[in-house]
Amino acid sequence: MCATCGCDQPGGVTITRINTEEGEFRPVSNHGLVTAHHHHHGGQESSSEKRRIDLQQDILSKNDTQAGHNRHHFEAGHILAVNLVSSPGSGKTSLLERTLADLKDQYKSYVIEGDQQTLNDANRIAATGCEVVQINTGKGCHLDADMIHRSIHQLDPQDGSVVFIENVGNLVCPAMFDLGEQARVAIISVTEGDDKPLKYPDMFESSQLCIINKIDLLPYVNFSVEKTKEYARKVNPRLSFIELSATRGDGMGKWYEWLKNEYEAIGSRKEVAASV
Amino acid sequence: MHELSIVMNIIDIATEQVQQAHARKVDSIELEIGTMAGVEMDALDFSWSAAVRNTVLSDAERVVDRVPAIARCGNCGLEFRVSEPFMPCPACDNVLVEYLQGKELRVKSLVVS
């Protein structure tokens, strides 16, 4: 059984590098989480004697260790890695398309796309000229640190760049999995319920920034920006907010300013880490 | 359903321990899961029964210690039991609290044979 999603196929996860130069996709790797498929059957010298083992091991320690390696790799190369999380349809890909187009002269950017199926999002990103890999998780509901590790090897982002990770559209499961990112951004759109931060608190608790997208639609929907902020602050008093419309462009400047601040903060984080 | 990933990670940990101990299987496993760990116990049960088949955990008794969430208020310092997720300090209503326990997600111990 696949460790990520529980499907019966060993090849549950595929990672595909989109070739931007030729304008078509080219699968570079197509293998599952083989390393996670342990099917051992005990040692040769097994005895039937009962033994108690006191372990106290964190269940997600493997992911957390890998996430730590990813983070170290990013920081060593002064690379800003941002993990974008939201429900499906909040506008993550549209936000990225506009961001990549607007900031193409400021940063060298890369995108890691996570979806259960299809290369659609990666092809949208590739059309902007940005280098991108698509992770298809099969039946899996979230990205994990190992998938990011393998994607980084394919992308090989240059020092001083920005890596955007678009997580699988899901407000529950991605919250638990550290990818090694420097910042997590939760996106909610005004066509969703304004009580989402209360219904799905873990995601808002684990994020540093909350983007409220599609504000151009506010006149047509029953959504209170202030209530959303109030609810989100209940689960995470430190959360920052940016209201924007990725399609019309309102508020995008504030998002770029936030990215710039995060980008500039990497150097100071490195110094703190070195002095510890 | 990330509970399945969690179960698969538990199976990996148990398999490693069984191998290191030159044992064959796990008789019982004790897990520590905090009430604020983000784990839905029904989903864990469901994933468990499907995933442990043909593994070292297939016949293991599973014991789960649910660790209650306790938080300390960042304003008045009161330590209190968190009875509902993300509740503010019951004394001063401050929302900035630090969780002292309740986020545990650990394999505490195993009995192997």
Summarised one tens digit per residue, pLDDT across range A237-255 is 999 999 999 999 999 999 9
Q: How much is the average pLDDT of A118-147?
A: 92
Query: Domain segments of chain B: what residues?
Result: 2-112
Q: What is the pLDDT of residue A270?
A: 60
If you search the block for the tokens 């992770």, which residue do you land on? A135
Q: Would the pLDDT of A271 be above 70?
A: no
For an interface test with A, the pick among B2, B89, B97 (most A C-beta atoms closer than 10 Å) comes out as: B2
Is residue B40's pLDDT more than 60? yes
Q: Give, as one character, the DSSP assignment of residue B56.
A: T
- With bands split at pLDDT 50, 70 and 90, how would you rate the model's confidence at B97? confident
3-state secondary structure chain A: CCCCCCCCCCCCCEEEEEECCCCEEEEEECCCCHHHCCCCCCCCCCCCCCEEEEEEEECCHHHHHHHHHHHHHHHHCCCEEEEEEECCCCCHHHHHHHHHHHCCCCCCEEEEEEECCCCHHHHHHHCCCCEEEEEECCCCCCCCHHHHHHHHHHHCCCCCCEEEEECCCCCCHHHHCCCCCCEEEEEEECCCCCCHHHHCHHHHHCCCEEEEECHHHHHHCCCCHHHHHHHHHHHCCCCEEEECCCCCCCCHHHHHHHHHHHHHHHHHHHHHHHHC
- Distance between CA atoms of A31 and B77, rounded to whole angstroms? 51
Contact B86 A201 (CB under 8 A): yes
Structure tokens at A39: 């099917």
- Which pLDDT belongs to residue A255? 98
User: What is the identity of the amino acid at A62?
Assistant: K
Shortest alpha-carbon distance between residue B106 and chain A (Å) = 4
Tell me the pLDDT tens digit for each residue of A57-108.
999 999 999 999 999 999 999 999 999 999 999 999 999 999 999 999 999 9
- Tell me the mean pLDDT in the region A38-50: 56
Would you say residue A48 has pLDDT above 80? Answer: no
Percent of chain A with pLDDT over 90: 73
- Min Cα separation B77/chain A (Å): 17
Closest residue in A to B96 (Cα) is A237
ipTM (interface pTM): 0.88
Q: Which band of pLDDT confidence, cut at 50, 70 and 90, is reported for residue B86? A: confident
**Top-confidence residue, A54 or A267:** A54
> Is A194 contained in some domain?
yes
Dihedral over Cα of A231, A232, A235, A239: its sign: negative
Contact B13 A48 (CB under 8 A): no
Select from B19, B14, B62 the least CA-distant residue to A41.
Answer: B19
Tell me the average pLDDT of chain A: 86
Q: Is the pLDDT of residue A13 over 50?
A: yes
Q: In 10 A of CB A225, how many CB atoms?
A: 15
User: What length does chain B have?
Assistant: 113
Residue B96: pLDDT over 50? yes
Alpha-helix runs per DSSP H in B21-82: 41-51
Higher pLDDT, A34 or B91: B91
| pLDDT at residue number A33 | 34
Strands A209-213 and A80-86: unpaired
The per-residue pLDDT for A196 is 93
Q: Does residue A261 sit within a domain?
A: yes
Total tally of structural domains belonging to chain A: 1
Architecture of domain B2-112 in this structure: 2-Layer Sandwich (3.30)
Three-state SS at B51:
helix
- Asked if residue A206 is part of any domain, the answer here is yes
> Tokens 């208020």 appear where?
B73
Q: State which residues form the domain around A225.
A: 14-30+60-275
pLDDT digits (tens, 9 = 90+) for A184-229: 999 999 999 999 999 899 999 999 999 999 999 999 999 999 999 9
**CA–CA separation, A151 and A165 (whole Å):** 10
Nearest to A175 among B4, B19, B38 (CB): B38
For residue A187, the domain's CATH number is 3.40.50.300
Report, as an integer, the average pLDDT of A23-27. 45
Selection from A95, A110, A109 nearest residue A212 by Cα: A95
Query: Which pLDDT score, from 0 to 100, does residue A29 have?
Result: 41
Say yes or no to pLDDT of A36 above 60. Answer: no
Q: Compute the average pLDDT of residues A22-31.
A: 43
Nearest-5° Cα angle at A250, A245 to A254 = 100
Give the pLDDT of residue B83.
87
Distance of alpha carbon A99 from alpha carbon A256, whole angstroms: 8
